[in-house]
Amino acid sequence: MRESVQAEVLMSFLVSEELCFKIPVELRYETRDPYAVRMTFHLPGDAPVTWAFGRELLLDGINRPSGDGDVHIAPTDPEGLSDVSIRLQVGGDRALFRASAPPLVAFLDRTDKLVPLGQERTLGDFEDNLEAALGRILAEENAG
């Protein structure tokens, strides 16, 4: 079974109303943390910065304004599949990014094929049970 899904998308980093530039952002989803997605922003001149937040938050934010606290995601046009605005905040520092929705939807679709939305909890139980069963089988083989 595959254990992760990743994609790279170009996002606009909106520095101010007059200045923005495109940056590569790596999206990553791993079965060992089935509720979260990670975005690694490759900002020019800085070390990459990774943010983790709920997969469901990203999905919701494509369709309607979502998020509390440090991460806010919202469509730029509520009437259809448009660009998505992603605002990240730490204390008083804030960064605003804009991404095209279709690559985000494609990424989320791939995560759903790996772990269907709503089935995250059963994945953890399955892996724990599989590990325990394999441990018993190996112990029996070594004892016999």
Instruction: Please state the domain extents for the chain.
Output: 4-117
Regions of the chain where pLDDT drops below 50: 126
User: Which residues does 52 contact at the CB level (< 8 Å), separation at least 6?
Assistant: 33, 36, 37, 38
pTM check: above 0.85: no
**Digit-coded pLDDT (tens) for 76-94:** 987 777 899 999 998 888 9
Q: List, edge to edge, every strand of the sheet that includes 49-54.
A: 49-54, 36-41, 20-30, 4-14, 93-100, 83-90, 71-75
pLDDT of residue 141: 60
Neighbours of 54 (CB within 10 A): 15
Q: Does residue 11 contact residue 20 with C-beta atoms inside 8 Å?
A: no
Which CATH superfamily is 4-117 part of? Sporulation-specific cell division protein SsgB (2.30.31.20)
Confidence (pLDDT) at 78: 72
